[in-house]
């Protein structure tokens, strides 16, 4: 590791990297008065960007291919950016630097001066919000009455009212909960009568009550009131069903809709993070800076490749399967020639050696 380096210009940095060709290059997310000082205390910390780091390790389940893994990570980073950073937290798109990490995920650098001075515990609060830590239904839902419109006109009914809903709808975790409940009910209503009633019985409903609940949750007006107004009509013993259902699924709800991120990275005020524009020494792919618009169509296995298709000779030391540029290469051990981009990927993974 070569640390405590600083450069006055981008040209100085480029010359330094060319002179020693590192396998990996990082920069500090923090700002210092004296960045090249040999100790952290002497550097004089001024602040740090807020960093979100998401890769495949933070996602549930397993993926059959590298491409499938990267596609799923991209879906989650877009959700993190759009739903949490831009919508809930109100950051501006121009203050977000989005970067493909060069291997298994993405980084988002929030360069907003309003958060630059936040210390570790403050940043931890942001992580807790993303993860839904401490989410308590008793503080999100109240029981009251409301006038609801039905096929037979308006009536007063007992309802669960999800807090923080206005005429324009809800926001944040309250809106997520409303959509989650509506989606769960809608999914149950799609089942055939016998299967749906058996499903409802596991939440303590008898056959007659299960039939009443099923009729209610198949009413699109009821589902729309949940999504748009945060109102859940409680007639037909829906309240009992919902309490039992949510008590068993609230943890899964948080897992399903939470913002995924590497928690220690976001809370760290002196973090080292990969240098955009450098090459990842474990994949040979470019650590690629992106705008939100570019992210939409970005394909790492096409757009982050910098090496050519010229053939080079290598010794493959262990069999491998490589997916690059829309092709899948199934490679066995032994000497042979491969496209430069594939050879570099294998060498960075420790599966091949260059043969001049």
At 96, the pLDDT band (50, 70, 90 cuts) reads very high
Query: Across the chain, what does the average pLDDT equal?
Result: 90
pLDDT surpassing 70 at residue 152: no
Which of 151, 184, 189, 146 is CA-nearest to residue 165? 146
- Going from the C-alpha of 103 to that of each of 26, 256, 282, 287, 347, the distances in angstroms are 14, 24, 7, 8, 14
Please give the domain boundaries of the chain with CATH numbers for all domains.
Answer: 10-132+260-302 (3.90.920.10), 137-257 (no CATH), 307-354 (3.40.5)
Which residues are marked as active site? 53, 55, 262
Q: Where are the beta strands (DSSP E) in 101-200?
A: 105-110, 141-150, 153-162
pLDDT tens, 243-300? 777 776 667 777 777 888 889 999 999 999 999 999 999 999 999 999 999 999 999 9
Indicate whether 47 pLDDT > 90.
Answer: yes
- Percent of the chain at pLDDT exceeding 90: 63
What's the whole-model pTM score? 0.87
Percent of the chain with pLDDT over 70: 96
Q: Higher pLDDT residue, 32 or 155?
A: 32
Residue 109 has pLDDT above 80, yes or no: yes
The gap from C-alpha 325 to its chain's centroid, in whole angstroms, comes to 25
Please say if the pLDDT value at position 161 is more than 80.
Answer: yes
Q: Which residues contact 132 (CB under 8 A, 6 or more apart)?
A: 173, 253, 254, 257, 258
DSSP-derived 3-state class of residue 153: strand
């Amino acid at each position: 590791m070569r640390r405590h380096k600083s450069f006055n210009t981008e040209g100085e940095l480029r010359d330094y990297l060319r002179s020693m060709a590192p396998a990996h290059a990082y920069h500090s997310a923090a700002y210092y008065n004296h960045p090249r000082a040999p100790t952290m205390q002497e550097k004089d910390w001024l602040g740090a960007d807020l960093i979100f780091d998401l890769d495949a390790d933070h996602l549930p389940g397993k993926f059959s291919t590298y491409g499938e893994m990267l596609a799923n990570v991209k879906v989650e980073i877009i959700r993190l950016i759009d739903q949490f950073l831009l919508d809930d937290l109100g950051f501006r798109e121009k203050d977000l630097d989005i970067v493909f990490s060069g291997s298994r995920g993405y980084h988002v650098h929030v360069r907003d001066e309003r958060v630059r001075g936040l210390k570790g515990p403050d940043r931890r609060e942001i992580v807790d919000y993303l993860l839904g830590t401490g989410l308590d239904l008793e503080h999100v839902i109240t029981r009251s009455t409301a006038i609801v419109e039905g096929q037979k006109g308006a009536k007063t009914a007992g309802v669960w009212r999800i807090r923080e809903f206005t005429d324009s709808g809800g926001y944040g975790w309250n809106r997520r909960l409303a959509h989650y409940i509506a989606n769960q009910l809608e999914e149950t209503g799609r089942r055939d009568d016998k299967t749906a009633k058996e499903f409802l019985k596991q939440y303590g409903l008898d056959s007659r009550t299960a039939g009443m609940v099923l009729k209610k949750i198949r009413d699109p007006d009821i589902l729309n009131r949940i999504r748009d107004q945060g109102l859940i009509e409680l007639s037909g013993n829906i309240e009992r069903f919902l309490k039992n259902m949510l008590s068993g699924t609230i943890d899964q709800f948080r897992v399903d809709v939470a913002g995924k991120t590497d928690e220690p990275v976001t809370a760290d005020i002196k973090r080292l993070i990969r240098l955009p524009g450098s090459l990842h020494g474990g994949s040979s792919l470019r650590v690629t800076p992106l705008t939100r618009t570019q992210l939409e169509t970005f394909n790492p296995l096409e757009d982050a490749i910098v090496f050519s298709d010229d053939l080079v000779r290598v010794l493959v030391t262990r069999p491998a399967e490589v997916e690059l540029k829309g092709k899948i290469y199934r490679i066995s051990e032994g000497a042979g020639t491969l496209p430069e981009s594939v050879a570099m990927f294998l060498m960075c993974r420790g599966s091949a050696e260059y043969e001049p």
